[in-house]
Structures are given as structure tokens and as C-alpha cells.
């Protein structure tokens, strides 16, 4: 994906009043601490209305799974895609980037994106203008903090 095209696309959408939901995947081949920081910075720059952050999932039978086995990025001790509570796990690791660092990058991403003063102000502004948005955002906020608690419990 070309970053300049994505930036222009988000600007054009915003100019047209189109609401953007960004989706990001952490832990794909080539991921490093630096690419994690760059991805979070990119998301903050293009500032979609909402976003979703997932972990790369090497499903058996896929190219990513084969690639992970061939390169030693997947080991039996950490090969689960979800835990017993349905929390998505980080089954891949790379030289210089552990399972734990990839897993933790999701929480870092969400916190860095949503807990910015400008984003909080935008969300509060939506809530003040619309009772329906107030209900939605309060529900989403409760879900967000529950999600973070469940992830933290899964990590320990």
C-alpha cells in the first residue's frame, strides 16, 4: 500500500463527509519496533473516525502459516491464535520482536490513538451533539476498557 495514496484517500473522504474506519494488522512479516511506531504515527496522522487493530494470524493452510514454519517464526509453545477466553494471541515472533512485544503493541496502538486530547475532544463533541452517539460512545468506551482488561489478564 502506498502511504501517499492512503493519506490522500483519507483527506478526500473527510472533505466529502465520509466517515473512515481504519483497520490495522500488527505482527506481519517484516514487523519491527520501528514499523510498529510508524504505523501508530500514521494512524494518528490520518486520524480515522474509529479503528480496529488485530494481530497477524497464520491460519494452517495459508501462505503466512507456511512462511512462518519455514522461517521459524511460529513455535509450538506460542502457536495458539486465541486463548481460552477468545482473546486474540500473537503467535508469530521475529528476530528482534517477540510474541509479547507484538501482543502488547495492540494495546499501545489503541491507547496512543484514542487517549489523545484531540481525539477525546472529538468524541466528547460527538456525544454532546447527539444522544444516540452518546449511548454508542459510552457503550464503546466500556467495551474498550473491558477489552484492555481482558488482554492484560491474557498476557499474565
| Ordered per-residue pLDDT tens for the chain, 156 residues | 689 999 999 999 999 999 999 999 999 999 999 999 999 999 999 999 999 999 999 999 999 999 999 999 998 777 888 887 778 889 999 999 999 999 999 999 999 999 999 999 999 999 999 999 999 999 988 988 888 888 777 776
The overall pTM is greater than 0.95: no
Q: Where are the domains of the chain?
A: 3-116
Residues 31/102, Cβ–Cβ less than 8 Å: yes
Domain spanning 3-116: CATH 3.10.20: no
Amino acid at each position: 500500500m502506498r502511504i501517499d495514496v492512503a493519506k490522500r484517500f483519507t483527506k478526500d473522504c473527510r472533505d466529502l463527509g465520509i466517515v473512515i474506519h481504519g483497520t490495522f494488522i500488527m505482527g506481519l512479516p517484516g514487523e519491527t519496533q520501528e514499523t510498529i511506531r510508524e504505523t501508530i504515527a500514521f494512524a494518528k496522522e490520518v486520524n480515522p473516525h474509529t479503528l480496529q487493530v488485530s494481530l497477524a494470524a497464520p491460519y494452517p493452510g495459508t501462505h503466512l502459516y507456511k512462511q512462518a514454519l519455514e522461517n521459524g517464526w511460529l513455535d509450538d509453545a506460542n502457536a495458539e491464535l486465541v486463548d481460552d477466553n477468545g482473546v486474540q494471541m500473537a503467535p508469530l515472533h521475529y528476530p528482534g520482536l517477540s510474541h509479547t512485544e507484538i501482543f502488547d503493541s495492540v494495546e499501545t496502538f489503541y491507547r496512543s490513538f484514542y487517549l489523545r486530547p484531540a481525539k477525546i475532544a472529538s468524541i466528547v463533541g460527538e456525544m454532546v451533539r447527539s444522544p444516540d452517539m452518546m449511548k454508542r460512545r459510552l457503550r464503546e468506551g466500556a467495551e474498550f476498557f473491558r477489552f484492555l482488561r481482558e488482554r492484560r489478564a491474557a498476557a499474565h
